Amino acid sequence: MVTLNDANPRVLELIRNLNIRLLSFAECSLSGITIDPYIWQNSNGFYECHDDFIAFNHTPKSNIQDLNSCILHEIAHWSGHPTRLNRKAIEAGANLAIYELDLHIIHTEEVIAQLGMFKLACYLGLNIEKYLEMTNLYIQRYFMANRLEADIESTKALGFIIDRERVALTKAA
């Protein structure tokens, strides 16, 4: 089974530099954080806006690529927090149940996160061939997304993350 220690070292470094709180699904349970059973069984991870953390799932079918892509995808969601880039879906998700959101907003946010994952993989020097097909298939699922908006917002997310990491590294030096 793949664990967090198997993630790409550069992905782990990015998490540390951005000071992102990262929990496994098991750690969420031990902390009293309730995870929807559907998410527990069908998801590699999620971003939780209220408590501002990323959760990831260890499953027997997970591989290192799944782990890296999940974490990078959720970091892209993380960038949309109201105290960061303040994207509509993340802000609304903090105040509404997901089923109360407009499908267009949900789909666009998912495409932002997936494009953000791909752009972060490029930035980190990961083998992008592994992520290209995954990104194309993922984006096709979200047919109601505004793809132009998603591309623009994912580029903003990448810039924000890179700038945030540079500031952290400068302070550490």
Q: Give the domain ranges of the chain.
A: 4-172
Cβ–Cβ under 8 Å, residues 72 and 120: yes
Helix (H) or strand (E) holding 67: helix 64-78
Mean pLDDT of 168-173: 91
Model confidence band, residue 97 (pLDDT cutoffs 50, 70, 90) = low
pTM over the 0.75 mark:
yes
Residues with Cβ within 8 Å of 133's Cβ and at least 6 positions away in sequence, in order, are none
Task: Report pLDDT for 99.
Answer: 53
**Residue 62 corresponds to which tokens in the numbers above?**
């997970």
Query: How does DSSP classify residue 126?
Result: -
Mean per-residue pLDDT, 75-90: 93
Q: Rounded mean pLDDT of 34-50?
A: 84
What is the per-residue pLDDT for 101? 64
